[in-house]
Protein backbone atom coordinates (compact mmCIF):
# COMPACT_ATOMS: atom_id res chain seq x y z
CA UNK A 1 0.00 0.00 0.00
CA UNK A 2 1.20 3.51 -0.86
CA UNK A 3 0.48 6.52 1.35
CA UNK A 4 0.95 10.19 0.47
CA UNK A 5 0.72 13.46 2.36
CA UNK A 6 0.67 16.99 0.94
CA UNK A 7 3.75 19.09 1.68
CA UNK A 8 3.72 22.43 -0.10
CA UNK A 9 7.24 23.51 0.85
CA UNK A 10 10.34 22.64 2.86
CA UNK A 11 9.57 24.67 5.95
CA UNK A 12 10.36 22.52 9.01
CA UNK A 13 6.76 22.62 10.23
CA UNK A 14 5.43 21.52 6.83
CA UNK A 15 7.85 18.60 6.76
CA UNK A 16 6.99 17.49 10.28
CA UNK A 17 3.24 17.54 9.60
CA UNK A 18 3.63 15.55 6.37
CA UNK A 19 5.90 12.89 7.88
CA UNK A 20 3.72 12.54 10.97
CA UNK A 21 0.71 11.92 8.74
CA UNK A 22 2.63 9.26 6.81
CA UNK A 23 4.49 7.28 9.47
CA UNK A 24 2.65 8.06 12.69
CA UNK A 25 4.66 7.49 15.85
CA UNK A 26 7.16 5.03 14.31
CA UNK A 27 6.25 2.60 17.08
CA UNK A 28 8.42 -0.13 15.54
CA UNK A 29 11.50 1.89 16.56
CA UNK A 30 12.77 0.82 19.99
CA UNK A 31 15.07 2.86 22.27
CA UNK A 32 18.72 2.17 21.58
CA UNK A 33 18.21 1.13 17.96
CA UNK A 34 20.53 2.51 15.29
CA UNK A 35 18.54 3.66 12.28
CA UNK A 36 20.33 4.31 9.00
CA UNK A 37 18.70 6.76 6.61
CA UNK A 38 19.83 6.00 3.07
CA UNK A 39 19.38 9.37 1.39
CA UNK A 40 19.94 10.33 -2.23
CA UNK A 41 23.14 12.39 -2.14
CA UNK A 42 24.19 11.83 -5.73
CA UNK A 43 26.71 14.68 -5.72
CA UNK A 44 27.56 17.95 -4.01
CA UNK A 45 24.49 19.98 -4.93
CA UNK A 46 22.47 22.72 -3.29
CA UNK A 47 19.14 21.52 -1.88
CA UNK A 48 17.44 23.95 -4.27
CA UNK A 49 18.74 21.97 -7.26
CA UNK A 50 16.26 19.13 -6.53
CA UNK A 51 18.99 16.54 -7.10
CA UNK A 52 19.19 15.26 -3.52
CA UNK A 53 16.90 14.42 -0.61
CA UNK A 54 16.08 17.73 1.04
CA UNK A 55 17.73 18.34 4.45
CA UNK A 56 14.50 19.73 5.94
CA UNK A 57 12.78 16.37 5.47
CA UNK A 58 15.82 14.47 6.73
CA UNK A 59 15.96 16.73 9.78
CA UNK A 60 12.26 16.24 10.52
CA UNK A 61 12.61 12.46 10.28
CA UNK A 62 15.70 12.53 12.48
CA UNK A 63 13.78 14.44 15.16
CA UNK A 64 11.02 11.84 15.12
CA UNK A 65 13.50 8.99 15.44
CA UNK A 66 15.37 10.72 18.26
CA UNK A 67 12.09 11.08 20.12
CA UNK A 68 11.81 7.29 19.96
CA UNK A 69 15.28 7.01 21.57
CA UNK A 70 17.09 5.91 18.40
CA UNK A 71 20.54 6.76 17.16
CA UNK A 72 20.32 8.11 13.58
CA UNK A 73 22.95 7.93 10.85
CA UNK A 74 22.47 9.52 7.41
CA UNK A 75 24.64 8.23 4.59
CA UNK A 76 25.09 7.53 0.90
CA UNK A 77 27.86 6.89 -1.59
CA UNK A 78 27.89 9.80 -4.05
CA UNK A 79 29.57 9.61 -7.43
CA UNK A 80 33.35 9.99 -7.34
CA UNK A 81 35.84 8.94 -4.72
CA UNK A 82 34.41 7.24 -1.66
CA UNK A 83 36.52 9.11 0.88
CA UNK A 84 35.73 10.92 4.12
CA UNK A 85 36.81 14.26 2.65
CA UNK A 86 34.54 13.86 -0.38
CA UNK A 87 31.63 12.81 1.82
CA UNK A 88 32.12 15.86 4.01
CA UNK A 89 32.04 18.12 0.94
CA UNK A 90 28.81 16.51 -0.23
CA UNK A 91 27.17 16.72 3.20
CA UNK A 92 28.08 20.39 3.48
CA UNK A 93 26.89 21.34 -0.01
CA UNK A 94 23.66 19.34 0.41
CA UNK A 95 22.89 21.18 3.65
CA UNK A 96 22.96 18.18 5.97
CA UNK A 97 25.10 19.59 8.76
CA UNK A 98 22.07 20.81 10.73
CA UNK A 99 19.80 17.77 10.41
CA UNK A 100 20.68 16.60 13.93
CA UNK A 101 21.77 13.16 12.68
CA UNK A 102 25.21 11.64 12.55
CA UNK A 103 26.63 11.91 9.06
CA UNK A 104 28.42 8.74 8.07
CA UNK A 105 32.21 9.00 7.86
CA UNK A 106 32.91 5.27 7.63
CA UNK A 107 34.28 4.61 4.12
CA UNK A 108 35.09 0.94 4.62
CA UNK A 109 33.77 -1.57 2.10
CA UNK A 110 32.26 -5.00 2.76
CA UNK A 111 31.31 -7.87 0.47
CA UNK A 112 27.73 -8.98 0.05
CA UNK A 113 26.87 -12.56 -0.87
CA UNK A 114 23.42 -13.10 -2.35
CA UNK A 115 23.01 -16.51 -4.03
CA UNK A 116 19.26 -15.89 -4.42
CA UNK A 117 19.90 -12.92 -6.71
CA UNK A 118 18.80 -13.16 -10.32
CA UNK A 119 21.91 -11.41 -11.67
CA UNK A 120 23.69 -10.13 -8.55
CA UNK A 121 25.29 -12.97 -6.61
CA UNK A 122 28.07 -11.02 -4.90
CA UNK A 123 28.91 -7.34 -4.70
CA UNK A 124 30.83 -4.73 -2.71
CA UNK A 125 28.83 -2.37 -0.52
CA UNK A 126 29.27 0.53 1.87
CA UNK A 127 29.94 -1.10 5.23
CA UNK A 128 28.35 1.65 7.36
CA UNK A 129 25.00 -0.06 6.73
CA UNK A 130 26.14 -3.04 8.82
CA UNK A 131 25.96 -0.85 11.93
CA UNK A 132 22.25 -0.20 11.44
CA UNK A 133 19.48 -2.19 13.08
CA UNK A 134 17.06 -0.94 10.43
CA UNK A 135 17.32 1.11 7.25
CA UNK A 136 14.95 3.79 5.99
CA UNK A 137 15.19 4.52 2.28
CA UNK A 138 14.54 8.24 1.69
CA UNK A 139 14.83 8.88 -2.03
CA UNK A 140 14.34 11.87 -4.31
CA UNK A 141 11.92 11.65 -7.23
CA UNK A 142 13.68 12.54 -10.48
CA UNK A 143 13.95 11.72 -14.15
CA UNK A 144 16.85 9.47 -15.16
CA UNK A 145 18.61 9.05 -18.49
CA UNK A 146 19.02 5.27 -18.32
CA UNK A 147 16.18 4.14 -16.04
CA UNK A 148 13.62 6.82 -17.04
CA UNK A 149 12.91 7.54 -13.37
CA UNK A 150 14.85 7.30 -10.13
CA UNK A 151 12.84 6.58 -7.02
CA UNK A 152 12.83 4.01 -4.24
CA UNK A 153 14.41 1.08 -6.13
CA UNK A 154 17.11 3.04 -7.96
CA UNK A 155 18.18 4.81 -4.75
CA UNK A 156 19.87 1.68 -3.42
CA UNK A 157 22.48 1.80 -6.16
CA UNK A 158 24.03 4.25 -3.69
CA UNK A 159 25.04 1.28 -1.52
CA UNK A 160 27.69 0.49 -4.15
CA UNK A 161 30.89 2.46 -3.36
CA UNK A 162 31.35 5.51 -5.57
CA UNK A 163 34.15 4.60 -7.95
CA UNK A 164 32.80 1.06 -8.35
CA UNK A 165 29.50 2.24 -9.83
CA UNK A 166 30.88 2.59 -13.39
CA UNK A 167 32.09 -1.01 -13.17
CA UNK A 168 28.49 -2.10 -12.55
CA UNK A 169 27.31 -0.15 -15.57
CA UNK A 170 29.87 -2.02 -17.65
CA UNK A 171 28.93 -5.33 -16.04
CA UNK A 172 25.23 -4.74 -16.74
CA UNK A 173 25.12 -2.59 -19.90
CA UNK A 174 21.58 -3.57 -20.94
CA UNK A 175 18.85 -1.58 -19.14
CA UNK A 176 16.94 -4.71 -18.11
CA UNK A 177 20.04 -6.43 -16.71
CA UNK A 178 20.85 -3.25 -14.80
CA UNK A 179 17.26 -3.11 -13.55
CA UNK A 180 17.43 -6.73 -12.35
CA UNK A 181 20.61 -5.85 -10.47
CA UNK A 182 18.80 -2.95 -8.75
CA UNK A 183 15.89 -5.22 -7.82
CA UNK A 184 18.37 -7.73 -6.37
CA UNK A 185 19.89 -4.96 -4.23
CA UNK A 186 16.45 -4.08 -2.86
CA UNK A 187 15.68 -7.69 -2.01
CA UNK A 188 19.05 -8.09 -0.32
CA UNK A 189 18.76 -5.03 1.93
CA UNK A 190 15.02 -5.12 2.72
CA UNK A 191 14.70 -1.55 4.08
CA UNK A 192 12.13 -1.21 6.84
CA UNK A 193 10.47 1.83 5.28
CA UNK A 194 10.60 3.72 1.98
CA UNK A 195 9.97 7.46 1.74
CA UNK A 196 9.94 9.73 -1.32
CA UNK A 197 10.77 13.43 -1.36
CA UNK A 198 8.41 14.65 -4.08
CA UNK A 199 7.90 18.14 -2.70
CA UNK A 200 10.03 19.45 -5.55
CA UNK A 201 10.97 16.85 -8.14
CA UNK A 202 13.37 16.99 -11.10
CA UNK A 203 12.29 16.91 -14.73
CA UNK A 204 14.30 16.95 -17.95
CA UNK A 205 18.00 16.14 -17.90
CA UNK A 206 17.95 14.14 -14.66
CA UNK A 207 19.21 12.86 -12.33
CA UNK A 208 21.65 15.74 -11.76
CA UNK A 209 21.22 18.48 -14.37
CA UNK A 210 17.46 18.66 -14.80
CA UNK A 211 15.02 21.38 -13.77
CA UNK A 212 13.26 21.59 -10.38
CA UNK A 213 9.49 21.17 -10.64
CA UNK A 214 7.05 21.50 -7.72
CA UNK A 215 4.79 18.54 -6.95
CA UNK A 216 3.99 19.08 -3.27
CA UNK A 217 3.99 15.53 -1.90
CA UNK A 218 5.81 13.14 0.41
CA UNK A 219 5.08 9.45 -0.13
CA UNK A 220 5.65 6.30 1.91
CA UNK A 221 5.32 2.54 1.59
CA UNK A 222 6.82 -0.70 2.84
CA UNK A 223 6.94 -1.94 -0.77
CA UNK A 224 9.42 -0.03 -2.98
CA UNK A 225 7.99 -1.51 -6.19
CA UNK A 226 4.44 -0.36 -5.47
CA UNK A 227 5.83 3.01 -4.43
CA UNK A 228 7.70 3.45 -7.71
CA UNK A 229 4.58 2.47 -9.64
CA UNK A 230 2.67 5.31 -7.98
CA UNK A 231 5.57 7.74 -8.54
CA UNK A 232 5.71 6.83 -12.23
CA UNK A 233 2.04 7.68 -12.70
CA UNK A 234 2.50 10.96 -10.83
CA UNK A 235 5.22 11.89 -13.32
CA UNK A 236 3.11 10.93 -16.32
CA UNK A 237 5.17 7.80 -17.03
CA UNK A 238 3.63 4.45 -17.76
CA UNK A 239 5.29 2.01 -15.34
CA UNK A 240 6.11 -0.26 -18.29
CA UNK A 241 8.53 2.41 -19.54
CA UNK A 242 10.62 1.97 -16.39
CA UNK A 243 13.02 -1.01 -16.49
CA UNK A 244 12.92 -1.59 -12.72
CA UNK A 245 9.12 -1.80 -12.85
CA UNK A 246 9.25 -4.33 -15.68
CA UNK A 247 11.82 -6.37 -13.78
CA UNK A 248 9.68 -6.33 -10.63
CA UNK A 249 6.55 -7.29 -12.58
CA UNK A 250 8.37 -10.23 -14.17
CA UNK A 251 9.22 -11.54 -10.69
CA UNK A 252 5.74 -11.02 -9.28
CA UNK A 253 6.96 -8.35 -6.87
CA UNK A 254 4.40 -5.74 -7.88
CA UNK A 255 0.85 -5.90 -9.12
CA UNK A 256 -1.09 -3.50 -11.28
CA UNK A 257 -2.77 -1.44 -8.57
CA UNK A 258 -5.58 1.07 -8.58
CA UNK A 259 -4.05 4.52 -8.51
CA UNK A 260 -5.13 6.41 -5.36
CA UNK A 261 -7.86 8.85 -6.39
CA UNK A 262 -6.64 11.49 -3.96
CA UNK A 263 -3.38 11.72 -5.91
CA UNK A 264 -5.00 12.55 -9.26
CA UNK A 265 -4.69 16.35 -8.74
CA UNK A 266 -0.92 15.91 -8.36
CA UNK A 267 -0.39 13.98 -11.62
CA UNK A 268 1.84 15.82 -14.07
CA UNK A 269 0.69 16.01 -17.69
CA UNK A 270 3.44 18.00 -19.38
CA UNK A 271 6.55 17.04 -17.43
CA UNK A 272 9.72 16.98 -19.51
CA UNK A 273 10.68 13.29 -19.52
CA UNK A 274 13.80 11.50 -20.75
CA UNK A 275 13.58 9.47 -23.97
CA UNK A 276 13.29 5.72 -23.58
CA UNK A 277 14.29 2.79 -25.75
CA UNK A 278 11.90 2.20 -28.63
CA UNK A 279 9.84 -1.00 -28.76
CA UNK A 280 8.44 -0.27 -32.24
CA UNK A 281 9.77 -3.37 -34.01
CA UNK A 282 8.91 -5.67 -31.15
CA UNK A 283 5.31 -4.52 -31.39
CA UNK A 284 5.14 -4.99 -35.18
CA UNK A 285 6.79 -8.42 -35.32
CA UNK A 286 5.60 -11.12 -32.91
CA UNK A 287 7.66 -13.45 -30.77
CA UNK A 288 11.30 -14.20 -31.48
CA UNK A 289 11.31 -12.27 -34.74
CA UNK A 290 10.36 -9.09 -32.93
CA UNK A 291 12.99 -9.71 -30.27
CA UNK A 292 15.73 -10.26 -32.84
CA UNK A 293 14.67 -7.25 -34.91
CA UNK A 294 14.61 -5.11 -31.79
CA UNK A 295 18.15 -6.12 -30.86
CA UNK A 296 19.41 -5.66 -34.42
CA UNK A 297 18.30 -2.04 -34.66
CA UNK A 298 18.54 -1.18 -30.98
CA UNK A 299 21.92 0.48 -31.27
CA UNK A 300 20.62 2.65 -34.11
CA UNK A 301 17.43 4.00 -32.53
CA UNK A 302 18.07 3.92 -28.77
CA UNK A 303 18.65 7.14 -26.80
CA UNK A 304 22.29 8.12 -26.57
CA UNK A 305 24.33 10.73 -24.69
CA UNK A 306 24.62 13.84 -26.85
CA UNK A 307 26.88 16.85 -26.27
CA UNK A 308 25.83 20.49 -26.25
CA UNK A 309 29.25 22.06 -26.91
CA UNK A 310 28.34 25.54 -25.65
CA UNK A 311 27.78 24.16 -22.13
CA UNK A 312 30.95 22.06 -21.98
CA UNK A 313 33.84 23.41 -19.90
CA UNK A 314 36.30 20.72 -21.00
CA UNK A 315 36.78 19.30 -17.50
CA UNK A 316 37.11 15.71 -18.79
CA UNK A 317 34.99 14.23 -16.00
CA UNK A 318 32.89 12.31 -18.54
CA UNK A 319 36.04 10.81 -20.02
CA UNK A 320 37.43 9.68 -16.67
CA UNK A 321 34.11 8.16 -15.52
CA UNK A 322 33.18 6.29 -18.69
CA UNK A 323 33.27 2.55 -17.79
CA UNK A 324 33.53 1.52 -21.46
CA UNK A 325 36.36 3.97 -22.22
CA UNK A 326 34.22 5.26 -25.07
CA UNK A 327 35.07 8.95 -24.60
CA UNK A 328 38.22 10.81 -25.59
CA UNK A 329 38.97 14.50 -25.16
CA UNK A 330 39.73 16.29 -28.42
CA UNK A 331 40.30 20.05 -28.48
CA UNK A 332 38.94 20.21 -24.91
CA UNK A 333 35.65 18.61 -25.94
CA UNK A 334 34.53 15.00 -25.38
CA UNK A 335 34.29 12.77 -28.43
CA UNK A 336 32.03 9.74 -27.93
CA UNK A 337 32.91 6.60 -29.87
CA UNK A 338 29.45 5.23 -30.56
CA UNK A 339 30.69 1.73 -31.31
CA UNK A 340 32.00 1.42 -27.75
CA UNK A 341 29.28 3.37 -25.93
CA UNK A 342 27.12 1.11 -23.74
CA UNK A 343 24.53 3.85 -23.04
CA UNK A 344 24.94 3.73 -19.29
CA UNK A 345 24.66 7.55 -19.21
CA UNK A 346 27.34 7.92 -16.51
CA UNK A 347 28.71 10.83 -18.55
CA UNK A 348 25.32 12.51 -18.65
CA UNK A 349 24.64 11.83 -14.98
CA UNK A 350 27.81 13.38 -13.63
CA UNK A 351 28.50 16.19 -16.10
CA UNK A 352 28.80 19.25 -13.82
CA UNK A 353 27.27 21.59 -16.42
CA UNK A 354 24.58 19.40 -17.94
CA UNK A 355 26.37 19.51 -21.29
CA UNK A 356 25.47 15.89 -22.03
CA UNK A 357 21.85 14.84 -22.43
CA UNK A 358 20.01 11.64 -23.28
CA UNK A 359 18.55 12.19 -26.74
CA UNK A 360 16.95 9.98 -29.37
CA UNK A 361 18.48 9.92 -32.85
CA UNK A 362 16.47 11.64 -35.60
CA UNK A 363 15.54 8.32 -37.23
CA UNK A 364 14.02 7.05 -33.98
CA UNK A 365 11.92 10.19 -33.62
CA UNK A 366 10.66 9.80 -37.20
CA UNK A 367 9.86 6.11 -36.88
CA UNK A 368 7.91 6.46 -33.65
CA UNK A 369 6.22 9.80 -34.31
Judge if 181 and 314 occupy the same domain: no
Judge if 293 and 233 occupy the same domain: no
Tell me the pairing of strands 102-103 and 71-75: parallel
Number of domains in the chain: 2
Q: Domain ends where: 266, 301, 336?
A: 266
Closest to 304 (Cα-Cα) out of 243, 363, 220:
363
pLDDT of residue 289: 63
CA distances from 126 to 158, 167, 185, 207 (A): 9, 15, 12, 21
Q: Domain ends where: 211, 238, 266?
A: 266
Domain assignment of residue 274, yes or no: no
pLDDT of residue 286: 59
pLDDT of residue 285: 52
CATH number at residue 306: 3.30.70.20
Judge if 320 and 360 occupy the same domain: yes
All residues at 6 or more sequence positions from 340 whose CB lies less than 8 Å from its CB, including other chains: 324, 325, 326
Judge if 187 and 313 occupy the same domain: no
pLDDT of residue 345: 87
Domain assignment of residue 17, yes or no: yes
Is this prediction's pTM over 0.85?
yes
Judge if 165 and 291 occupy the same domain: no
Domain assignment of residue 271, yes or no: no
Judge if 243 and 285 occupy the same domain: no
CA distances from 45 to 198, 220, 254 (A): 17, 24, 33
The string of pLDDT tens digits covering residues 122-167 is 999 999 999 999 999 999 999 999 999 999 999 999 999 998 999 9
Burial class (CB in 10 A: 0-12, 13-18, 19+), 294: buried
Judge if 260 and 337 occupy the same domain: no
Judge if 286 and 245 occupy the same domain: no
CATH number at residue 174: 3.40.50.11440
pLDDT of residue 281: 43
pLDDT of residue 337: 94
Domain assignment of residue 275, yes or no: no
Domain assignment of residue 90, yes or no: yes
Judge if 91 and 203 occupy the same domain: yes
Domain assignment of residue 317, yes or no: yes
Q: Domain ends where: 200, 231, 266?
A: 266
Domain assignment of residue 272, yes or no: no
Q: Give the residue ranges of the chain where pLDDT is below 50.
A: 278-284, 367-369
pLDDT of residue 368: 47
Domain assignment of residue 273, yes or no: no
Judge if 121 and 235 occupy the same domain: yes
Judge if 243 and 320 occupy the same domain: no
Judge if 47 and 150 occupy the same domain: yes
- Structural domain boundaries, residue 315: 280-367
Amino acid sequence: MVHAAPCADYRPESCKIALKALVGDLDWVQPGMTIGIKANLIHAASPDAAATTHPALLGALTDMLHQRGARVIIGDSPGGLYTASHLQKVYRQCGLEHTGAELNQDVSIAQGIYPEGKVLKSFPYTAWLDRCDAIINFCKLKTHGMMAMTGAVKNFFGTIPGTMKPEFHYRYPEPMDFADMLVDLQLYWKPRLHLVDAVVIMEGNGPTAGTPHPMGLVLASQNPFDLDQACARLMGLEPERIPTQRAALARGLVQQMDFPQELLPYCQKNLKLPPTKSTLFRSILPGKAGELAGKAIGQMISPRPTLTPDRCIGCGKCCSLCPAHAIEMENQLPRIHRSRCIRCFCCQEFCPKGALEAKRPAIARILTH
